[in-house]
């Protein structure tokens, strides 16, 4: 296992990450030698269209998939070739929130069991302080995401879309992670609910001192949440920098197109 001398504060480092897969006989290059680093406390946005490789990249970071070639270090340890049973630290410190809370919550489990599931996992349990009280932690995270205390006894379908996304966020917070990876956290939500979830994420990142990675096709969402930005296209990073800089003065035509595509209210049509 290759150790890596991390610069202080460095959380993630990825080198030459490539991921190919076969889709019905056709070879797809989802990720094409991507380099990335992420420091503790940073808020990184990954922007691109579907098929740009942004979701593949964060799945590799979360250890949910293995690269075809290239390496990922988390806190100085290479995770790309570790067997699942040695991923305990990663599993406890990196949590994910997915796009559609209708499909990311098991419809046949009670909300309380969904949220405490990460605490019950054997890998994560070893990383937690002894005697972690599940019910106590459940109450804490429910409060943190502004859901009623009795929510734990109910089922996902009893909640609205925005509330279900809060449940997914509560589940991610339960094992007190360092990194929160949010894959399109608001794109399945109504615009009117979007603001609430974005506010919640902003508050949580500040209050829990989280490092944040946000994947989105919407530059506005990323602009609101992140201080650093990478723009991806066809498996490669085409632009990268401080969010405001990229937003104000995009260096590539592709980034400009992404910006222009954001719908703005038109008060008089052509």
Hey, which residues between 110 and 169 contact another protein (CB under 8 A)? 113, 117-118, 120-124, 146, 160-163, 166, 168
Strand order of the β-sheet with 69-74 is 26-39, 10-23, 69-74, 77-78
Nearer to another protein (CB atom), residue 33 or residue 132: 132
266 binds another protein (CB under 8 A): yes
175 binds another protein (CB under 8 A): yes
Listed ranges 9-17, 46-54, 66-74, 133-141: which one lies at the site for another protein (CB under 8 A): 46-54
Strands 228-233 and 43-47: parallel
Give the separation between CA 71 and CA 212, rounded to whole angstroms. 21
CA nearest to 71, candidates 33, 14, 6: 14
Give the separation between CA 15 and CA 35, rounded to whole angstroms. 5
Distance of closest approach, residue 188 Cβ to another protein, in angstroms: 8
Nearer to another protein (CB atom), residue 136 or residue 266: 266
19 binds another protein (CB under 8 A): no
Task: Identify residues 62-81 at the interface with another protein (CB under 8 A).
Answer: 62, 64
Nearer to another protein (CB atom), residue 5 or residue 267: 267
Beta strands, E only, 75-227: 77-78, 94-97, 179-183, 211-216
User: Among 99, 112, 211, 237, which residue interacts with another protein (rule: CB under 8 A)?
Assistant: 99
Listed ranges 7-15, 31-39, 132-140, 254-262: which one lies at the site for another protein (CB under 8 A): 254-262
Helix or strand or coil: residue 73? strand
Distance of closest approach, residue 41 Cβ to another protein, in angstroms: 14
77 contact partners, CB below 8 Å, separation of at least 6: 1, 3, 4, 89
Nearer to another protein (CB atom), residue 33 or residue 155: 155
Contact 72/22 with Cβ under 8 angstroms? no
242 binds another protein (CB under 8 A): no
CA nearest to 164, candidates 117, 236, 239, 111: 111
83 binds another protein (CB under 8 A): no
Q: Report H helices in 134-174.
A: 134-144, 161-173
239 binds another protein (CB under 8 A): no
Nearer to another protein (CB atom), residue 33 or residue 238: 238
Nearer to another protein (CB atom), residue 33 or residue 117: 117
């Amino acid at each position: 296992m290759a150790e890596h001398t991390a610069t202080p504060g460095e959380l993630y480092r990825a080198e030459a990450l490539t991921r190919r897969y076969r889709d019905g006989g056709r070879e797809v290059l989802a990720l094409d030698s991507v380099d990335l680093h992420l420091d503790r406390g940073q808020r990184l946005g990954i922007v691109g269209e579907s098929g740009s490789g942004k979701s593949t990249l964060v799945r590799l970071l979360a250890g949910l998939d293995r690269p075809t070639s290239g390496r990922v270090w988390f806190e100085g340890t290479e995770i790309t070739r570790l067997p699942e049973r040695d991923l305990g630290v990663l599993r406890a410190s990196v949590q994910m929130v997915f796009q559609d809370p209708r499909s990311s919550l098991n419809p046949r489990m009670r909300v309380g069991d969904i949220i405490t599931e990460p605490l019950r996992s054997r890998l994560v349990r070893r990383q937690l302080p002894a005697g972690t009280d599940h019910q106590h932690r459940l109450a804490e995270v429910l409060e943190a995401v502004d859901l009623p205390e009795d929510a734990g006894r109910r089922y996902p379908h009893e909640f609205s879309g925005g509330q279900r996304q809060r449940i997914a966020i509560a589940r991610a917070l339960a094992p007190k992670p360092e990194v929160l990876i949010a894959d399109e956290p608001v794109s399945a939500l109504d615009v009117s609910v979007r603001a609430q979830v974005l506010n919640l994420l902003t508050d949580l990142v500040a209050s829990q001192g989280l490092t944040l990675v946000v994947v989105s096709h919407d530059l506005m969402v990323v602009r609101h949440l992140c201080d650093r930005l990478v723009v991806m296209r066809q498996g490669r990073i085409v632009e990268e920098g401080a969010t405001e800089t990229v937003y104000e003065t995009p260096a590539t035509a592709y980034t400009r197109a992404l910006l222009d595509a954001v719908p703005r209210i038109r008060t008089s049509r052509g």
